[in-house]
Amino acid sequence: MSIFGDFDDDDAFDTEPADPEQVARKLHDLRLRERLENVEWDQLDEWERRALVTIVVAVLAWLRRQGALP
C-alpha cells in the first residue's frame, strides 16, 4: 500500500521520485472532496493545470531541501 492509501501499483501516487502532476491531481481531488474546489481536474484549462503542477514542484523541492523527501 502506498502513502496515499493506494493498493494497486497502476494508480499509486508515491512514485519515486514523486511525480508532480500526480501529486497535484491528488491534492486537487482531496480539495474537491472537502468542497474547497468545484471543478474536476480534467475541466481545468492547460494554464491552471500547469500552475498547480508548478506549485507542487516548488513544494516538493522545499521538502527535499528540508530532508523530508529523498
Q: Which residues of 3-16 are buried (b: 16+ CB within 10 A; e: fewer)?
A: eeeeeeeeebbbee
Q: What is the pTM assigned to this prediction? A: 0.72
Look up residue 65 and give its amino acid: R
Residue with cell 506549485: 55
pLDDT tens per residue across all 70 residues of the chain: 445 554 555 555 555 677 899 999 999 999 999 999 999 999 999 999 999 999 999 998 998 899 887 7
